[in-house]
Chains A and B, each alone.
Chain A
């Protein structure tokens, strides 16, 4: 079946540095790729998403890039801050179904 692989599982960066999280998907017909941030004790919250007709999207310090040929997409966080510390999930839609497939998550720690 379809799956989404996410790496790394944990990531520690110094405050002010950049962080990159990568996901690879198997369903070449997938068209929508969201990223969710989960803070401790809370439900995931959408932070940015990208559709297959776009290669890159930015929102302030956060950007997502998509390479449909290679079937991977990445989350980039610049100028990291302590409040960026959280678990991040990538996801894709499973084409031909009405299901979502999530990655296994990346725990990001921003060290002050």
Chain B
């Protein structure tokens, strides 16, 4: 089944404790992206990747890191999480950028205390 998977689905952590949210897709997509969803703000793009080893900042990259060492995986790293990073996070992938449907993962709800 074609899908985007994320782990963990739920995470409660404390300020400053490094964490990684994994994302994997099995559709051989080139473009992958991370979004955060907050009430009243919609979906905001954090980072994206055009292909392996090619990543760039979205609109809200502060406090996040990503890597794209393999085509299928695109982990999101929070080196020192803060409470303002409490949010619902989505990973997405598409065949390419430009007029291409994005497939979203099921989401990761992160709470930073």
Interface of chain A residues 1 through 38 with chain B (CB within 8 A):
1, 6, 9, 31-32, 34, 36
List chain A residues, Cβ under 8 A from B31. 98
CA–CA, A46 and B94, complex, Å: 11
Size bracket, chain B contacts? 20 to 34
Q: Which residues of B contact A41 (CB under 8 A)?
A: 106-107
B98-A45 in contact (CB<8A): no
Closest B residue, CB atoms, query A91? B43
CB distance from A76 to the nearest CB of B (A): 20
List A contacts of B90 (CB < 8 A).
Answer: 43-44
Q: B99 contacts the other chain (Cβ, under 8 Å)? A: yes
- Contacts known (A89-B43, A98-B48, A104-B40); A32 close to B99, Cβ less than 8 A: yes
Interface residues on A, range: 20 to 34
A contact residues around B40 at 8 Å (CB): 9, 104
User: Which residues on the B side are within 8 Å of A9 (C-beta)?
Assistant: 40
Which of chain B's residues 34-80 have a Cβ closer than 8 Å to chain A? Answer: 35, 40-45, 48, 50, 56, 58-59
Residues of A within 8 A of B102 (CB): 34, 36, 44, 46, 100
- Please pick, from B33, B35, B101, the residue contacting A46 in the complex, using a CB distance under 8 A: B101
Our pick among B43, B44, B56, B58 for the contact of A44 (Cβ within 8 Å) is B43
Contacts of A44 in B (CB 8 A): 43, 90, 102, 104
**Beyond A9-B40, A36-B104, 15 additional pairs, beta carbon < 8 A:** A6-B42, A44-B43, A46-B101, A51-B99, A89-B42, A91-B43, A93-B99, A98-B31, A98-B48, A99-B48, A99-B59, A100-B33, A101-B59, A102-B44, A104-B41
A-B contact list, 18 entries, CB within 8 Å: A6-B42, A31-B99, A32-B99, A34-B102, A42-B107, A43-B90, A43-B104, A44-B90, A44-B104, A46-B102, A49-B99, A89-B42, A89-B43, A98-B50, A102-B35, A104-B41, A104-B42, A105-B43
